[in-house]
Amino acid sequence: MKSKLEKIHKEALKALKDAKDSDTLEKLERQFLGRKAELARIAKDIKNIAKEQRPVIGKLINDVKRDISAIIQEKKQGKEFLAKGRPPSGWDYTLPAIAPNVGHLHPITQFLETIEDIFIKMGYEVVEGPELESQKYNFDLLNVPEDHPSRDIQDTFYVDKKDARNNSYVLRTHTSPVQIRAMKTRKPPVRLIAPGRVYRNERTDAGHETNFYQCEGLVIDRNIRITDLIGTLELFIKRLYGDNVNIRVRPHFYPFTEPSIDIDMSCLLCAGEGCPFCKRSGWIETLGAGMVHPNVLKNMKVDPKEYSGFAFGLGIDRFMMLYYQVNDIRLSYSGDLRFIEQF
Ligand code: PHE
């Protein structure tokens, strides 16, 4: 039995040595390792051998099989087949590699960079602040009174972490606290924007999410007037969307600005006709703004008699959606590649 196996082994090695193409290799593979091969038959007959012999012969059969199989695999990947038209395993090793999937910046980030470019060209610097914020910065120093509805738990996410005065931290509800933080290390004149993520306890729909992006703006200098504010924002919107966009200015109230305004722009998704995105009004609320309240200037250690300033908060998601014609804010945060890969 042993010599029979050795004979098969030798035969196989010789035949394989001469095999020069994949067809021959496949034939030899069938001949030596296939179901009807002699090796297979011997393996089947092992039960007829003396019991003590079985492990020895069994091992020998396996060794022979393994050796033949290894040589065949090696040959299949061998250089001699590369030169030939048809590679043995159906794989052409000379083909260029498959390019790996490379990611890219999220559309919101791409869009933020577009906005930053516009403001940087107008002389603004870009600053950032924390997303987990103390009530002091998110509300108090911004002149938001204790009983203001924006402090309500229905509107705001509070977390367990507490500050020194035992007040819960909040997931910042706007980027306005960055105004105060930035002024800790700056003196007027300042021109800055502060982009970032903010959180609100919203009921979600096509136009609302529980987290979204804002971009704060702050300008403080001598003789800054509300016309500077409106002019700046109109220029910004036109640089972004072109000269055909209409804006409309509405009076509003914010505790940290006085006077305060909201600026709407014509809905680019429906060209002012009315659609779900603009709640059928033809206008989109895009930003809140106003002249920095004297109390807030004082909290920034800036003298309101000497300086004035304006501040604004852009709703980045809505701007982005208009820019790229996206009709549902929730897509941005869905993580769905069918959406992300379009940008
Ligand atoms: N913080 C305001 C908001 O989130 C927007 C705003 C910023 C308004 C700056 C006035 C000045 O709605």
Same domain, 254 and 335: yes
CA-174 nearest atom, ligand 1: 4
Separation CA 12–CA 258 (nearest Å): 94
Q: Which DSSP symbol is given to 234?
A: H
Range of the domain at 10: 2-84
Q: 35 in helix, strand or coil? A: coil
> Per the domain annotation, does 168 fall within a domain?
yes
13: pLDDT strictly greater than 80: yes
Same domain, 215 and 327: yes
Q: What confidence tens digit (pLDDT) does each residue in 23-55 have?
A: 888 899 999 999 888 888 888 888 888 888 888
- The answer to whether the beta carbons of residues 169 and 133 sit under 8 Å apart is yes
pLDDT at residue 79 in the model: 52
Q: Domain with 310 in it: what CATH number?
A: 3.30.930.10
> Where does ligand 1 bind, in terms of residues with CB under 6 Å?
174, 176, 254, 257, 260, 288-290, 311-313
Q: 187 in helix, strand or coil? A: coil
Phi, psi of 316 (to 5 degrees): -60, -40
Q: How many CB atoms lie within 10 A of CB 239?
A: 16
**Domains in the chain, number:** 2
pLDDT at residue 16 in the model: 86
Q: Which DSSP symbol is given to 305?
A: T
Same domain, 126 and 201: yes
CA-217 nearest atom, ligand 1: 9
Q: What confidence tens digit (pLDDT) does each residue in 177-228 have?
A: 999 999 999 999 999 999 999 999 988 888 889 999 999 999 999 999 999 9
Same domain, 58 and 117: no
> Per the domain annotation, does 92 fall within a domain?
no
Same domain, 162 and 63: no
- Which has the closest alpha carbon to 311: 206, 115, 161, 174? 174
Same domain, 262 and 317: yes
Separation CA 228–CA 244 (nearest Å): 21
> Per the domain annotation, does 97 fall within a domain?
no
Q: Indicate the pTM of the whole model.
A: 0.71
Same domain, 307 and 198: yes
CA-142 nearest atom, ligand 1: 1
pLDDT at residue 174 in the model: 96
pLDDT at residue 301 in the model: 97
